[in-house]
Structure 1
Amino acid sequence: MASETNGAAGPAAPLTERGARTRERLLAAAREVFEERGFLDTRVAHITRHAKVAYGSFYTYFPSKEAVFLEVADRLFADMTAHDLVPLDGPSPAARVRRANRAYYEAYQRNARMMAIIEQVSTFNVEFQEMRRKHRAGTVARSAKAIRRWQAAGLAPADLDPELASRALASMVDHSLYLWLVQGEGPNDRLLDTLDTLSIRALGLDP
């Protein structure tokens, strides 16, 4: 993959308060430009122009376009996975699943334009794929922990593999929202209710 880098860039300078603000401005501008142009058509010059920052200053904070994209995506995934798909707390397991699905839907809706770009980059950037896997693994592990607790309490079937169930449910919800919010297969007001029902039944929980 072609990369826009500056070979003369040295070690990153310690960030002053002003430098931190400039870096944040570049990150905000990068996300807006990526969403408008896509990853492949975005250039560092587009980002610096949008941020109203000198072109050379970009390399004080980021070694390449890929680096700023990875940080934008890392922050996005932190937002997307702030709520576990199967949270531990709540009035009942089924209610927790419904609440988590709604929280993930709201996060996906906030980030839908960037998610479209992320799907593009995920087909060819190995470093990005690894970062995405780490975020997903964390969410799956936390959800699997909740399922094990429900199994121990006799609320979920003992023969269900917690990790595989978490992965399957995460994939179902994620891909369904991608098709709806990114690809435009909708809107369908009943989709969330259907995802709730399928998730609850798959886990063998009382509705």
Structure 2
Amino acid sequence: MRSGDGAGGQAPLTERGARTRERLLAAAREVFEERGFLETRVAHITGRAGVAYGSFYTYFPSKEAVFLEVADRLFADMTGHALEPAPGSSPAERLRHANRAYYEAYRRNAKMMAIIEQVATFNVEFQEMRRKHRADSAARSAQAIARWQRDGLVPPDLDPEMTAHALATMVDRSLYLCLVQGDEADAGRLLDTLDALTVRALGLPT
């Protein structure tokens, strides 16, 4: 559900209602990051937003619903990085740009990513939304890999879709351990290593 929609597919909100809904979403994210999903209550969210408890249900049917929208927006931010930063960039330069854009997005969202890992263990609806965002992102990467194969830059025996998923998993897990779990790693060295591994795995010229 996107901002400006009524709860449950109702008529569009007034301008005031849209502002209230945005306050609830911002407050929900803050509270989720502080308390975690399981310990968060609707009352915590409405108290932080300065909104009457009952008004919450004008905009969201449940705590789960507001969490799903917060996560949906986060994933859009996380996976919106492009492989083409500037005309004329080489594939290796595009990959380096994408890795750094993803790192910056991950760093902005690290607290919420920790909560997302928690919810991913038990909420089926959330798991499906997460899977869709990852699949959409991997599909864009797979298209780039296939294009580079047609240009003779990437070996033709690599499966573009599986390669995109495998490389995305490597980057994602490395950043999770660094930014969420707090593993000591110099960000510059980590990104340089991820760049090198990605470029070499694809056989791209540097």
TM over 0.5: yes
- Determine the C-alpha separation between the residues in 2 that align with 1:144 and 1:203: 12
Gaps of 5+ in 1: 1-8
**1:195 aligned residue:** 194
| Secondary structure of the structure 2 residue equivalent to 1:32 | helix
**1:3 aligned residue:** none
- Determine the C-alpha separation between the residues in 1 that align with 2:154 and 2:90: 12
- Determine the C-alpha separation between the residues in 2 that align with 1:37 and 1:95: 40
**1:91 aligned residue:** 89
Task: Confirm or deny that 1:64 pairs with 2:53.
Answer: no
**1:4 aligned residue:** none
Gap change, CA 1:151 and 1:14, over 3 Å in 2:
closer
Aligned residue identity for 2:133 = H
Aligned residue identity for 1:79 = D
Asked if 2 retains the 8 angstrom alpha-carbon contact of 1:12 and 1:60, the reply is no
Map 1:107-146 to 2 at 5 A. 107-146=105-144
Runs of 4+ in 1 over 2 A off after TM superposition: 9-14, 86-90
Q: 4, 19, 22: which is aligned to 2:20? A: 22
- Determine the C-alpha separation between the residues in 2 that align with 1:14 and 1:91: 43
- Determine the C-alpha separation between the residues in 1 that align with 2:8 and 2:126: 24
Aligned residue identity for 1:147 = I
Shift of 1:90: 4.9
Q: RMSD of the TM alignment (CA)?
A: 1.6
Gaps of 5+ in 2: 1-6
- Determine the C-alpha separation between the residues in 1 that align with 2:8 and 2:124: 25
**1:5 aligned residue:** none
| Residue identity (%) | 77
Residues matched between the structures, number: 198
- Determine the C-alpha separation between the residues in 1 that align with 2:88 and 2:63: 42
Task: Confirm or deny that 1:51 pairs with 2:66.
Answer: no
| Secondary structure of the structure 2 residue equivalent to 1:160 | coil
Shift of 1:53: 0.2
